[in-house]
Amino acid sequence: MITVQNLSKSYGSFRAVDDVSFTCRPGAVTGFLGPNGAGKSTTMRIIAGLTPQDSGQALVSGVPYREVPNPGTQVGVLLDASAQHAGRTGREILTIGARTMGLPLTRVDEMLELVSLTDSESKRRVRNYSLGMRQRLGIAHALLGDPKILMLDEPANGLDPAGIHWMRSLLREYANRGGTVLLSSHLLHEIQIIADEIIVIGNGKIVRQGSKDELLDAAGTYVQAEDPSALARALTAAGLTASPQGQGLATEATPLEVGRAAAAAGVVLVELRKADGEGLEEMFLQLTAPNQRDQFTNGVPA
C-alpha cells in the first residue's frame, strides 16, 4: 500500500507537485500517467525519501519510507535505470545491492534469470547496455529483496513491444500474489497494457484517477449508422452531443444511451462500441492538453 496525501513540492515559484493525493492498493498495478515534467518522478522521489516535500505526506504501508528498516527488502524502487556507475557490470550492481540488503548471492542469479539477462550480458559493463537492458537490470534490482511494494519510474521506456508484454505478465503475477505496484509512464499505450488503476497527472496536479475500465467508460462511445444524418438527429433529440469521427460519430454518452436513442428513432446501426483505445488516448490528450509543454495545432496546411 502506498498512500500519498496532499503532497506538494515547489522549486522556486514552480509547483512541481501540487496537492497530490492517491492510494495504490495491494493486488493492483497502478499506472501513473502524465506528460514529461508533470511531476511523476518528483512524486516518486518524495515517496522514496530522496526529495523532501514542502507539505503533505507519503507513506508506504502507513510508514514514511525513511523509517522502513532495510527498505530494499520491503519496497523495491527503480527511479532511473541509467543512474548506475557505467563502469560496473550488471552482475556487480546486483551483488552490491544484495550485499547491502544482506541477501544470499544466489538471489543475484535468480534475478538475472527472471529478467532474462544472460550470463555473458551480466558480465558486461553497464555503459555497454542498451536502455532496454538497463531497465531489465533495474527491475531485477528492485525485485532483489523480494519486496511487497514496487515503485518503478518509466520502467517500460526503452523496452521493445515483447519486453513490455513480458513486464505486464511479470507485474500482473506480482500483483496477483498481493504485491502493490506503482509505475509511471508518459505513454498511454504502455499504461493501458500494464495497469489496472490509472492516475493521470498534469502540471503537478492529479487530473483524473480511477480504474482502467472506469476511465475507458468515461471515454465515451463510437457509433455508426446506415443513415448518418438520421443518427445525428436521433442523438440530438435524445440530448446527446456527438461529433463526426471517421465513418460514424463519437460521443461521451454510454453505448446504452446511444443504443436507446437510435432504437427510439428507428435508426439502423452498423456499429456500436466503447471508444476504447483511441478514446482513452483522446481523453489523455484532452486532460493533459492545457498542461502539455507543446500546444497542439490543427495540422499545418500544405
Partner 1 sequence: MSTTTAPATVDTSAPGVPLSRLVRVEVRKAFDTRAGFWFSTSILILCALALTFFVSFVPIDTLTFTNSTGVAGGVLGYFLPIIPILLVTSEWGQRTGLVTFTLEPRRSRVVLAKFAAGVIISLAVIVVAFALAAGILGIGSVFRDGSVDWSISGHLIFNFVLSNVIGVFLGFAIAMLLMNSPAAIVGYFVYSLVLPIVVGIVSGLVEWFRDLAPWIEFNTAQNPLFTGDMSPTGEEWAQLATSGLIWLVLPLTFGVLRLLKSEVK
- Asked whether 11 and 35 are in contact (CB, 8 A), the reply is no
67-86 binders of partner 1 (CB under 8 A): 67-75, 77, 79-80, 82-86
93-152 binders of partner 1 (CB under 8 A): 96-97, 99-102, 141, 146, 148-149
Residue length of the chain = 302
Give the binding range for partner 1 (CB under 8 A) out of 92-100, 161-169, 234-242, 267-275: 92-100
| CB 213, min distance to partner 1, A | 20
DSSP string, 188-221: HHHHHHH-SEEEEEETTEEEEEEEHHHHHHHT-E
21-40 binders of partner 1 (CB under 8 A): 26-27
Helix (H, G, I), strand (E, B) or coil at 291: helix
Closest by CA position to 65, among listed 169, 167, 168, 147: 147
Strands 197-202 and 205-211: antiparallel
The secondary structure of residue 84, as a DSSP letter, is S
| CB 142, min distance to partner 1, A | 10
Q: Is 12 in the site for partner 1 (CB under 8 A)?
A: no
| CB 1, min distance to partner 1, A | 6
Helix (H, G, I), strand (E, B) or coil at 112: helix
Q: Which is nearer to partner 1, 74 or 157 (CB)?
A: 74
Q: Is 269 in the site for partner 1 (CB under 8 A)?
A: no
| Angstrom distance (rounded) from CA 205 to CA 175 | 26
Binding-residue total with partner 1 (CB under 8 A): 50
Q: Which is nearer to partner 1, 68 or 232 (CB)?
A: 68
157-186 binders of partner 1 (CB under 8 A): 176-180
CA 108 to chain centre: 27
Strands 197-202 and 29-33: parallel
Residue ranges binding partner 1 (CB under 8 A):
1, 26-27, 45, 48-52, 60-63, 65-75, 77, 79-80, 82-88, 92, 96-97, 99-102, 141, 146, 148-149, 176-180
